[in-house]
Structure 1
Amino acid sequence: MTILKLKLDQDQLVEDFFESTHLIGIASTAPDYQLCWHINRYLHTNFRVNNSLEITLSKKTRSFHFTVLEFHEPTNSVAHYFYNNHCQAEFLLPELKNIHFLWMIKGDYYQPDDVKKLLEELRHVPLVQLVSLLDIKEIRNKMNLIF
């Protein structure tokens, strides 16, 4: 009897997950629900919490739960995900401790100019202190973003 072992190719998983994505870092001391209320109002999005996408990281004997909100554009095949980057004293992406939230745009529809326009609009949303486009290649813990 032969035992077949299947190995998950993490590099391929990461490459597939982040294909056609843009990642925005946001600094704000507001809670996620309050910030998303402003984003929804000013940018005409519809971010909602999706508990099935919540990301749990375990460190030592504790578990940390990072909320993920999502919004799907009705007119194209673009999905938006809004991650909390911190939970108590832990970070989803420890290399980005000054970033409180991450906004991931998945889909082929958004071009670099569209993302730049979104960044500019986001800078005018109340409670947003800082906005920056992040390079996914430079993020060390990108596996933490995969749900």
Structure 2
Amino acid sequence: MSVLKLKLDNDQLVEDFFDNTHLLGIASTSNDYQVCWHINRQLHTAFRINNSIEITLAKKNRSYHFPIYEFHEPTNSVAHYFFNNHCQAEYLLPELKQVQFLWMIKGDYYQQSDVKKLLDELRLVPLVQLVSLLDIKEIKNKMNLIF
């Protein structure tokens, strides 16, 4: 009897996961819950922590936990995820050490003009020091963002 081995195509998984996705980098010296509170208040979002999709990375015989806040827009099929990029001395995306938080927008509703408007609004949020649109193709460790 032969055994069928299935191999996961990571490249296809990454491509599918990031299809219709925008990623923002946010610099702030404040805690994730404080930044989310200000974003919720100023942008009228409803980010809430979702412990069931928390990302855990194992490095150097230790586990690092990266909480994710989640918000789904009620009027369309867009989901927003707010990641902590830093846990103790480790980074979810080590190539972006200057970015403390990541905001992922998933769904095909947002156009470039909508993302630019969101960037402009985020720059006005207290505790947010810098916001930039990230090119997902240039991120080396994007597998770390898949939950």
Pairwise TM-score range, normalised by the shorter structure: over 0.9
Which residue of the partner structure matches residue 65 of structure 1?
65
5 Å-filtered alignment, 1:120-135, equals: 120-135=120-135
Which residue of the partner structure matches residue 20 of structure 2?
20
Matched, 1:88 2:88: yes
RMSD: 0.3
If the length of structure 1 is used for normalisation, what is the TM-score?
0.99
**Unmatched tracts of structure 1, length 5 or more:** none
* CA–CA distance in structure 1, aligned partners of residues 54 and 108 of structure 2: 24
* CA–CA distance in structure 2, aligned partners of residues 60 and 94 of structure 1: 15
Same amino acid, percent of matched pairs: 80
* CA–CA distance in structure 2, aligned partners of residues 119 and 73 of structure 1: 17
Q: Secondary structure at the match of 2:46?
A: coil
**Unmatched tracts of structure 2, length 5 or more:** none
Q: Secondary structure at the match of 1:22?
A: strand
1:44-71 CA-partner distances (Å, limit 9, x unpaired):
0000000011000001211000000000
Which residue of the partner structure matches residue 50 of structure 1?
50
Which residue identity lines up with residue 42 of structure 2 in the other structure? Y
Q: Secondary structure at the match of 1:104?
A: strand
Matched, 1:36 2:36: yes
Shift in Å at residue 124 of structure 1? Answer: 0.2
* CA–CA distance in structure 1, aligned partners of residues 60 and 120 of structure 2: 40
* CA–CA distance in structure 2, aligned partners of residues 18 and 77 of structure 1: 15
Shift in Å at residue 79 of structure 1? Answer: 0.1
Which residue of the partner structure matches residue 113 of structure 1?
113
* CA–CA distance in structure 1, aligned partners of residues 18 and 53 of structure 2: 16
Shift in Å at residue 144 of structure 1? Answer: 0.1
